[in-house]
Amino acid sequence: MDILTHEAVNVLYPMIYCPPHFQVLFEPDAGFVTPEKAIALYTSDAIQHNADIRGREKIVEWKKEGSGMTMITNRDTYQADRLIICAGAWTGKIIPSIPATLKVTKQIVGWMKPRPNGSSGRAKNWNDFSLGNFPCWFLRDDDGNMFYGFPILPARDFGGPVGLKLALHKRGVEVDPDNVDRNIQQADEEILSNILKKYMPDAAGNALTLKSCLYNNSEDEDFIIDHLPGYDSKVTIASGFSGHGFKFASVIGEILADLAVKGETDLPIEFLRLRGLLITYKWFILIQAVGTSVMNENDYGSSGIVMSRIDAV
Ligand SMILES: Cc1cc2nc3c(=O)[nH]c(=O)nc-3n(C[C@H](O)[C@H](O)[C@H](O)COP(=O)(O)OP(=O)(O)OC[C@H]3O[C@@H](n4cnc5c(N)ncnc54)[C@H](O)[C@@H]3O)c2cc1C
């Protein structure tokens, strides 16, 4: 990881305007993961290792019964020795007694179209923002708002949506995950295009696509991985990924398997326990942008850049 001056950023990525009072961290070997492909890969690998995957089946009730656990779904009833619950935004619904505060928020993601013949002279065209020429980035602005984005990915290899992906990493409106208004307002687009106008002016064209999704936020934005109290270590939960959990999927799977099968793990998870909600905000900023912890064939190389006011990191 290198520390760059703002002048160096302007030479390396002239399409990014880096104010002089920003500190910049640069990781040339950073990368990103494509979740859809990664999930398909994990699923097919699991099936080949004899996992029994039941899709489109909703757990309506679960309980301790005798020495094991019983799960009742909309289709069947299952008995198991151990249960791992990772229900994302629905965690609070499936474990109403969870001893942690989880807040589900609606978040907007945009895929923007760079302006043709960019007017600031910093970038010339679409290709300047494409994979290979443009980094994954994370930015904390003067007001403390955090944004992140990715280079434009070739549709032939990655499918869609097409465009320069970016989002505001700040809790959106709190919602009920079963009743989300998926409408997107003009103001949502403006938040994204305003940040581009300021820091990547030639990328600040119209949005090609806007989507909403859900963050499942823990109180301090650290994940929650632990045995659920009251079940003799038979129930393990993984939740509160707060919009930055996907890249850790492999190691989280390892931890959950350890906790469920052995009852403990050698990996350092004390700060993720239900009782130990510590703030590790600084490190989150670094990890979010570089995202190199899940290494499989769906990892793609792309440099990563983190920009923030010098006094904020
Ligand atoms: C806009 C956006 C951007 C993000 N960007 C990043 C990023 O840049 N980097 C990163 O690392 N992470 C990112 N994330 C976060 C990442 O997607 C999440 O951390 C991760 O998907 C959480 O995984 P999960 O398994 O906890 O929840 P989910 O992926 O939500 O999975 C939960 C599953 O449980 C199922 N379920 C719920 N209730 C029941 C029930 N009763 N019965 C059966 N099944 C049930 C749901 O259908 C769902 O399939 C982002 C998320 C969003 C929304």
Q: Which helix or strand (DSSP H or E) is residue 215 part of?
A: strand 207-217
Structure tokens given for 33: 């993961």
- Residue 112, strand partner residues: 164, 207
Distances (CA, A) of 192 to 14, 99, 187: 20, 35, 9
pLDDT of residue 300: 67
**Residue-range domain boundaries for the chain:** 68-99+219-291, 103-216
CATH number 3.40.30.10 given to 103-216:
no
Distance CA 226, CA 235 (A): 9
Q: How far is the CA of 93 from the centre of ligand 1 (A)?
A: 15
**Residue nearest atom 9 in ligand 1 by C-alpha distance:** 244
Instruction: Determine the pLDDT at residue 100.
Output: 87
CA 249 to ligand 1 center in whole angstroms: 10
pLDDT at residue 311, rounded to an integer: 57
For a pocket test of ligand 1, which of 36, 59, 78, 90 has the largest count of ligand atoms closer than 8 A to its C-beta?
90
285 neighbors 138 (Cβ within 8 angstroms): yes
Q: Which fold has domain 68-99+219-291?
A: FAD/NAD(P)-binding domain (3.50.50)
- Whether the CB-CB separation of 288 and 244 falls below 8 Å is answered with yes
> Residue 248 Cα, ligand 1 centroid: separation in angstroms?
12
Task: State the pairing for strand pair 103-112/207-217.
Answer: antiparallel
Mean pLDDT (10-residue bins), the chain, 313 residues: 94 94 95 93 97 96 96 97 98 93 96 82 86 96 94 94 96 96 94 95 94 96 96 97 96 98 97 64 35 41 74 48
The reported pLDDT for the residue numbered 290 is 35
pLDDT tens digits for range 127-184: 999 999 999 999 999 989 999 999 999 999 999 999 999 999 999 999 999 999 999 9
Q: What pLDDT, on a 0 to 100 scale, did the predictor assign at position 282?
A: 34
